[in-house]
Amino acid sequence: MDYNGFFASALDALRDERRYRIFADLERIAGRFPQAIWHSPQGKRDVVIWCSNDYLGMAQHPKVIGAMVETATRMGTGAGGTRNIAGTNHPLVELERELADLHGKEAALVFTSGYVSNQTGIPTIAKLLPNCLLLSDALNHNSMIEGVRQSGCEKLVWRHNDVGHLEELLKAADPKRPKVILFESLYSMDGDVAPVHAICDLAEKYGAMTYADEVHAVGMYGPRGGGICEREGAMHRVDVLEGTLAKAFGCLGGFITGSKEMVDAVRSYAPGFIFTTALPPAICAAATAAIKHLKTSQWERDRHQDRAARVKAVLNAAGLPVMPSTTHIVPLFVGDPDKVKAASDMLLAEHGIYIQPINYPTVPRGEERLRITPSPYHDDLLIDKLAEALVDVWDRLELPTRQQAMAAE
């Protein structure tokens, strides 16, 4: 039996569809973000990163690095086991207190990633509710889809951000049946935001629980970085707020926050929590430092929004097809898997600009794009160079203009 033959043909299928992925070998330089070194086939080259989810540059913040190094020096590297077997390290307790406070909730529980939070949190909650019905937004992240699937519960998908459709589904369901509405507060491929209050109104009207993924909003929105729900004054209305420590907080890990009973039940029943080693204390301390800093510092959030607005304005003025986005995400429409890859390759090789292509299944086929994520550290000069490089690539590859993109969408 030619086992490797099966793997090779699976890879060929991806290549045929133009969605075989190649990762750039990068070396970020702390203190000089978004500058990095690219270990290219021809050797080391300086590049500027334009697609990082280290949205606020917190992964290089001196307080965050300091907390990580100090804690690792004092407590060592690994956690030494699952929390059930090896106990809980104190920095993890402090981190959970910090997170509960961030979202104004009774309790928080930390997982090894945001992905795991959804993948194990959602089915654990759903299975503890008798005959639970899950109502999931059509554009929810893969980690939520997997969580829903693993619950084995009946699922209904509502059209993206369409509360009219959500209400139809809620109205048709048995009023006595437990229900959970699952959505993201900020959708990171289009940069649009959920109608949080309208969803919570429906949840109250039809007796449903709400579960919001705030992964792309924590740290960045709300007066203390509590996310979109904080900005909208809706944190107390959402039952489960889930987030990551790996994007705006610049570290690693994920979490849920909510009532003490819900959090305790997930702690006690979730396999993806119970059977895996806890986060290292140094990472917990670093994440706590990032959260604490962003609770009081508004500079990063203001500068982040200012930079995103400037990138949108400059690219729009250059006639580039910036897709509508009400947040810090700047998607540029390409609409072709070959061309999006060619554009990304050309930007890196010829302009020293790194933007990963986004293609199926992350976005639907025909909606391939470049997803640009400005940070507080992308200055005016970098933005002007980005625009110049994009215009050059757009001309040479004959990519869609704004008018053509609008017609195609």
Ligand X SMILES: *Cc1c(COP(=O)(O)O)cnc(C)c1O
* 368 lines the binding site for ligand X (CB under 6 A): no
Name which of residues 113 to 172 contact ligand X (CB under 6 A).
Answer: 113-115, 118, 141, 143
* Residue 163: both structure tokens together: 């509360």
Stretch that binds ligand X, among 110-118, 171-179, 274-282, 355-363 (CB under 6 A): 110-118
The only residue of 119, 136, 210, 244 in contact with ligand X, by rule CB under 6 A: 244
* 356 lines the binding site for ligand X (CB under 6 A): no
Q: For residues 143 and 373, which CB has a smaller minimum distance to ligand X in the complex?
A: 143
Question: Is 247 a residue of the active site?
Answer: yes
CA distances from 385 to 298, 312, 315, 351 (A): 27, 14, 11, 9
Q: For residues 336 and 368, which CB has a smaller minimum distance to ligand X in the complex?
A: 368
What amino acid is encoded at 261 in this protein? E
Output the smallest distance, CB 143 to ligand X, in A.
5
The count of residues interacting with ligand X (CB under 6 A) is 14
Residues 6+ positions from 194 with CB-CB distance below 8 Å:
137, 161, 183, 184, 185, 186, 187, 212, 228
Burial of 130 (0-12, 13-18, 19+ CB in 10 A): exposed
Please report, in angstroms and rounded to a whole number, the separation of the first and last CA atoms in the chain: 46
Q: What does the alpha-carbon distance between residue 62 and residue 272 come to, in Å, rounded to a whole number?
A: 32
The residue of the chain with the least Cβ separation from ligand X equals: 114
The only residue of 96, 98, 192, 213 in contact with ligand X, by rule CB under 6 A: 213
Task: Confirm if 294 and 58 have CB atoms less than 8 A apart.
Answer: yes
Output the smallest distance, CB 117 to ligand X, in A.
7
* 249 lines the binding site for ligand X (CB under 6 A): no
SS3 letters across 96-150: HHHHHHHCCCCEEEEECCHHHHHHHHHHHHHHHCCCCEEEEECCCCHHHHHHHHH
Q: What does the alpha-carbon distance between residue 182 and residue 239 come to, in Å, rounded to a whole number?
A: 11
Stretch that binds ligand X, among 111-119, 306-314, 349-357, 383-391 (CB under 6 A): 111-119
Reported for 17-21, long-range contacts at CB under 8 A and 24+ positions apart, including other chains, are 17/337, 17/360, 18/337, 18/338, 18/341, 18/359, 19/337, 19/359, 19/360
Q: For residues 153 and 194, which CB has a smaller minimum distance to ligand X in the complex?
A: 194
Q: Where are the alpha helices (DSSP H) in 180-298?
A: 196-206, 228-231, 260-269, 271-274, 281-296
Q: For residues 249 and 377, which CB has a smaller minimum distance to ligand X in the complex?
A: 249
Output the smallest distance, CB 246 to ligand X, in A.
4
Residues 6+ positions from 122 with CB-CB distance below 8 Å:
134, 144, 147, 148, 150, 151, 180, 182, 211
- Tell which residue, 146, 140, 134, has the closest CA to residue 173: 134
The only residue of 246, 256, 287, 289 in contact with ligand X, by rule CB under 6 A: 246
Q: For residues 186 and 308, which CB has a smaller minimum distance to ligand X in the complex?
A: 186
Q: What does the alpha-carbon distance between residue 67 and residue 65 come to, in Å, rounded to a whole number?
A: 6
The only residue of 199, 215, 240, 343 in contact with ligand X, by rule CB under 6 A: 215
Output the smallest distance, CB 328 to ligand X, in A.
13
Q: What does the alpha-carbon distance between residue 97 and residue 302 come to, in Å, rounded to a whole number?
A: 26
Stretch that binds ligand X, among 24-32, 159-167, 210-218, 388-396 (CB under 6 A): 210-218
Name which of residues 20 to 49 contact ligand X (CB under 6 A).
Answer: none
Stretch that binds ligand X, among 41-49, 108-116, 175-183, 399-407 (CB under 6 A): 108-116
Task: Pick left, alpha or beta for residue 351 (phi over 0 → left; psi -120 to 50 → alpha; otherwise beta).
Answer: alpha
Stretch that binds ligand X, among 57-65, 174-182, 209-217, 383-391 (CB under 6 A): 209-217
Q: For residues 277 and 316, which CB has a smaller minimum distance to ligand X in the complex?
A: 277
Options 105, 171, 176, 247, the catalytic residue? 247
* 52 lines the binding site for ligand X (CB under 6 A): no
Output the smallest distance, CB 368 to ligand X, in A.
18
Output the smallest distance, CB 320 to ligand X, in A.
24
Q: Which residues are catalytic?
A: 247
Interface residue list for ligand X (CB under 6 A): 113-115, 118, 141, 143, 184, 188, 213, 215-216, 244, 246, 254
